[in-house]
Structure 1
Amino acid sequence: MTAVQKVAIAGAGVAGLATAIFLAKAGVEVDLYDAQPSLPTRGSGITLQGNALRVFDELGVWDEVAASGRAFEGLNLRAPGPGAPVVAALPDMKTGGPDYPSTMGMSRPDLARILLEAAERHGARVHFGRTVTGLSQSDDSVTVEVDGEAVGAFDLLVGADGLHSSVRELIGIRVVPQQTGMGIWRTFVSLPPGVDRSELYYGGPVYIAGYTPTGDDTMYAFLVEPAQDRSGVTPEEARRIMIEQSRGYDGPWNHIRADIEGGADANYTWFTRHIVDAPWNRGRVVLIGDAAHSCPPTIAQGAAQGLEDAAVLSELLVEGDALDQALWDAFHARRVERATAVVDASVQLGQWQIDGVRDADMGGLLSGIARLTAVRA
């Protein structure tokens, strides 16, 4: 007997789809609603640490993820300027345990496709182009409105609908993402010869320049700059900005620039942070993933934390026999402090760059987060 038999989920991101898979596999009736007309087929890449890979195995999709991405160990630091020499080769802790690589890069659309296919294969009903617009609760159910019309009563509504969550607003939580002072340009390009792991360049024309392999012949690259309004920038201007800002970086960046000049897309977003204090639920509605917390990608833990939310919540729902305060207390005890530590550390890494702190203990901070996430949530 599970604590729930019928669940609605808002949002077809990583956290929402993972929750749908876990619950549908356990025999729970799942309806997932997403405002997008379909999953995106274009996009950049994503870096996944070992604790995320461990959850993919629990979901039953690890083999597909491994075949679609590029696994690697370690991280190179390069100096900006001529030659882009490697100044440090850093080991990565296997936060997922010895059975998984320390890190993997892959295409975001490929990951979304794998998770969607798994959710539907296990019986979850996924409704695209549908937005959760209202809800009302009783002691034993939550009635969900989609596009202004009631679609049914559920045992639980999971708000996994991202940074600007409508579910978060509907349950009266006023916490919203705040800018951290950084913005990021991203592009998806071919893999330069000799690149076999993530590499970062600190300093130079921007705060951070870097890239991560995502397959045998693909990778995504990024430039982190002071946040500014780039909303009116055309695709051509976006490519020009990335080309000009990257001229201070040699080595593989010469290959990246050639791809951008050849038409590779460039997109821009701000870094944000927020964390909803416990509790993340209001009655029979709960927030997870980016709806509950967001952080800059400086430690590459955003998706991993959403996956951990999904894994912990689903475990408690499947193994429990009632959706009661004891279940919520267990969920918050396992998730809030851990997610907060990741958010704070991710923001701190960026703030050191903004403030120009040269003696910051980056290694100590990263090691601390690695030790934390190496322990299963």
Structure 2
Amino acid sequence: MRVLIVGAGVAGCALYRRLKPLGFTVDIIEKSSMLGSEGAAICLPANAMLALKKLGLSKPVLDLAYQVDQVEYALPSSKTLASASLHTAPLNKAPFVALKRDDLMSILRKDMAADVQLNSWPEDIKQDNNEVLVTFQSGETTSYDLVVAADGINSAVRQMVQVDSAPLSHKVTNWRYITKKPVAGIQPTYYVGNDSAFMIYPISEEEVYCYGQIIDEDGKFASLPSYKVIQDIFANYASPVSDCINNLTPEQPIVLGQLKTVKNTESLFNRVVLVGDALHGCPPSLQQGAGMSLEDINCLADALEQYELAEALKHYQQQRTARVTWTVKESNKIIKLAGLGRSPIGRFIRNTMIRLKGPANVVGWRKLLNEME
């Protein structure tokens, strides 16, 4: 069987690693001119680590990652709203860790980076019940038995097979960067303000991953210098947030983004299948970008190993639909929950819900891990 994987990110590289040993002819292409990463760091909840274990990669990831023990939600004043241990069932099924995104990609791409065809992308896809004809930007047309779209939330492949599938914007601008650890022993903490939020997540003994966001309906914050606007937006946040923003400079590498979400979570289009953010791109409220992507590729690879193609794709669709759909909806719901902070009554409702239920992401993780039993 000949397979084309479009995109050499987390999902694409992981799938290549699974399919190549099965004896398939696998092409993997990447539109960029070089293999890099588009993020500062990445958080890997327990389900992501379980998926990496199945890939045989949990140990190298753990060797480079930093394990955390609890999650806290707090106000900008640093007053705690709720906290939860990650060592209670079902959260203790695997470690919760974080590491630099480049480190994760280096592990995933080990011994396969040379196989990625750079500067390559599909311009057109035509298919019937027997083959997928892919025309590349070079003008060459190649026949495949299966095309896997692993090309991210703005997937070009998805837009070729699904009408009007551009992602929706939450009108929220976000920034991501790595800086010096502000407090020894700090655990992942999510500070929720009125129209903004800031996360601090340790990735080593010396460094933390910082994520900030603000409701930005007209896009004005996205057009300003990142280091300066971060300092202005989060000026009223107490230590340790203030420690993470006061020393920002124009030279600080900061990744600017806009929160988006896919319109729907349909995964299968005849012989074109969606994985990763092409399937379930959404806000990082549950830190499930990598976790869901790795689950996708293990599910697809297992099915392709066990069944004929048509049955394998049907199995993948059945296994992933409900879980992926819930994760996208829950991630979007948490963003809406954060947005309640724009009014006094909304803040009261939001903060009360967090106090009663606990950290919103932990609530979601419990459901995801319980369903794996």
**Normalised by the size of structure 1, how large is the TM-score?**
0.87
Give yes or no for the alignment of 1:254 onto 2:250.
Answer: no
1:344 aligns with 2:329: yes
Cα–Cα, structure 1 residues 151 and 117, in superposed 2: closer, same or farther, change >3 Å?
Answer: farther
Q: Give the whole-Å Cα distance in 1 for the aligned partners of 2:92 and 2:238.
A: 35
Q: For the Cα contact (< 8 Å) 1:50–1:94, is it kept in 2?
A: no
Alignment deviations for residues 253-311 of structure 1 (CA, whole Å, 9 cap, x no partner): 23312441383223321111124343x22221111111122211111112211111111
- The CA deviation string for residues 149-199 of structure 1, in whole angstroms up to 9 with x for no partner, is 235322211011111111112223422211123221222212223243211
Matches within 5 A, 1:74-223: 74-81=70-77, 84-92=78-86, 98=92, 100-101=94-95, 103-117=96-110, 119-120=112-113, 125-150=115-140, 152-203=142-193, 206-223=195-212
Identify the match of residue 10 of structure 1 among 3, 6, 29: 6
| 1:76-104 Cα deviation digits (max 9, x unpaired) | 233323xx344543223778874521x21
CA-CA distance at 1:341 after TM superposition: 0.6
Partner deviation per Cα, 1:46-82 (whole Å, 9 max, x = no partner): 111110111111112211211222111211233323x
Q: Is the 8 A contact 1:33 1:132 kept in 2?
A: no
Task: Identify unmatched segments of 5+ residues in structure 2.
Answer: none
Query: Partners of 2:115 and 2:76 in 1: how far apart?
Result: 49
Report runs of 4+ in structure 1 exceeding 6 Å deviation.
93-97
Partner in structure 2 of residue 272 of structure 1: 260
Offset, 1:22: 0.9
Q: Any stretches of 5+ residues in structure 1 without a counterpart? A: none
User: How far off is 1:43 after superposition?
Assistant: 3.5
Residue matched to 1:323: 309
The amino acid of 1:90's aligned partner reads A
Say which of 283, 287, 305 aligns to 2:270.
283
1:63 and 2:56 matched: no
Distance, in Å, in 1 between the alignment partners of 2:123 and 2:294 is: 25
Residues 119 and 168 of structure 1, relative CA distance in 2, 3 Å threshold: same
Counterparts of 1:97 and 1:367, CA distance in 2: 8
* CA distance, structure 2, for counterparts of residue 42 and residue 273 of structure 1: 17
Distance 1:215 1:271 in 2: 26
What amino acid is aligned across from residue 68 of structure 1 in structure 2? L
C-alpha contact (below 8 Å) 1:185/1:269 kept by paired residues: yes
Question: Which shifted more, 40-49 or 164-173?
Answer: 40-49
Structure 1 range deviating more: 359-368 or 247-256:
359-368
CA distance in structure 2 between the aligned counterparts of 1:43 and 1:200, rounded to whole angstroms:
19
Q: Secondary structure at the match of 1:298?
A: helix
The code of the aligned residue for 1:323 comes to: L
Give the direction of change, closer, same or farther, for the CA distance of 1:220–1:366 in structure 2 (3 Å limit). Answer: closer
Deviation (angstroms), 1:109? 1.8
Partner secondary structure for residue 349 of structure 2: coil
Describe the SS at the equivalent of 2:171: strand
SS in 1 for 2:169: strand
Q: 1:149 to 1:94 in 2, by over 3 A?
A: farther
Q: Which of 13, 34, 40 is the matching residue for 2:30?
A: 34
Distance 1:292 1:47, change over 3 A: same
1:317 positional shift: 0.6
8 Å contact 1:211–1:221 — kept in the other structure?
Answer: yes
CA RMSD of aligned residues (A): 2.5
